[in-house]
Amino acid sequence: MARFCANLTMLFQELPLAHRFQAAADAGFDAVELLWPDEAEEPPEELARLADAAGVEFALMDTPRGDSWGIGAQDGQQMAFFGQIIRTIDMADILGVTHVHVMAGLAGDGGRDVLTDNLIQACDLEPEQSFIIEPISTQAVPGYALNSFEAAAKVIAKVDRPNLGLLFDTFHAANMGHDPLNLFRKYQDLICHVQVSSHPSRHEPTLENRYDFPTFFKALDKAGYTGLISGEYHPSGRTEDGLSWLKP
């Protein structure tokens, strides 16, 4: 049965971050994700305490975005990436994070080869940590090095490590012109984490009728998907007023 996660970077923004953990738990979420905990005022020890007190899993965090949406694929930044990934692993250990999303960043033609080498380094450095990569549509982040699911799948195959998987975001899938369910079925063996929102507004999944999310959730259950489904969207109003998608 589907389990749901709240993206605390986007949801419950009417509350201070320290209060969003309990708000997510009270709303019925099983887990939380925080895109860039390095940007939070609270230290990781306090974020871990807040998640524990609320009884929610800490499902996902991103590597730092900086000014270029990450450096994982940027040539000449390999030493900087190594230092960054060590700090990220340390923070992930404190938070008890399930998945670390490695941001590829803005890069040129050779970026995916650089990303592949950097991911091998990260996966071998901490074999017990799950790392994931996400294809991000060019409409959302022009110049992002990993801008298709096919490219992401090829990188994962080249890295060939059991602790590397795919982050599947329905918004970016739709932005690329795909039907999210068909695309999920194509890459489901690689997918470790799912994020949902409406398209093209990136609001609540039920706000627009372009896609049937209840059917999508049931199909994921039928396919045997055991990961989390995260609401990663910009609420159209108060977060609590738009959670009908969580309780279909």
In contact, 59 and 51? CB cutoff 8 Å: no
Tell me the pLDDT tens digit for each residue of 60-117: 999 999 999 999 999 999 999 999 999 999 999 999 999 999 999 999 778 999 999 9
Give the Cα separation of 239 and 217 in Å (integer).
20
SS3 state of residue 208: coil
Q: Classify 110 in phi/psi space as left (phi over 0), alpha (psi -120 to 50) or beta.
A: alpha
What is the pTM for the complete model shown? 0.96
Instruction: Identify the pLDDT of residue 51.
Output: 98
Is 240 one of the catalytic residues? no
Give the Cα separation of 61 and 40 in Å (integer).
12
Tell me the pLDDT tens digit for each residue of 118-145: 999 999 999 999 999 999 999 999 999 9
Give the helix/strand (H/E) hosting 116: helix 111-125
Instruction: Identify the pLDDT of residue 248.
Output: 57
Identify the active-site residue in 33, 57, 126, 232: 232
Instruction: Identify the pLDDT of residue 2.
Output: 85
Comparison of pLDDT for 206 and 14, the residue scoring more: 14
Number of domains in the chain: 1
Give the Cα separation of 61 and 34 in Å (integer).
5
* Residues paired with residue 104 on neighbouring β-strands, in sequence order: 70
In contact, 67 and 98? CB cutoff 8 Å: no
Instruction: Identify the pLDDT of residue 161.
Output: 98
SS3 state of residue 47: helix
Instruction: Identify the pLDDT of residue 206.
Output: 82
The CATH number of whichever domain residue 240 belongs to comes to 3.20.20.150
Tell me the pLDDT tens digit for each residue of 136-179: 999 999 999 999 999 999 999 999 999 999 999 999 999 999 99
DSSP state, 244? G
Q: Which domain holds residue 98?
A: 3-246
Specify the residue for token string 């999210």.
180
Identify the active-site residue in 33, 57, 126, 134: 134
DSSP state, 144? B
Strand duo 31-34 + 3-7: pairing: parallel
Is 232 one of the catalytic residues? yes
* Residues paired with residue 169 on neighbouring β-strands, in sequence order: 195
Mean pLDDT score of the chain:
95
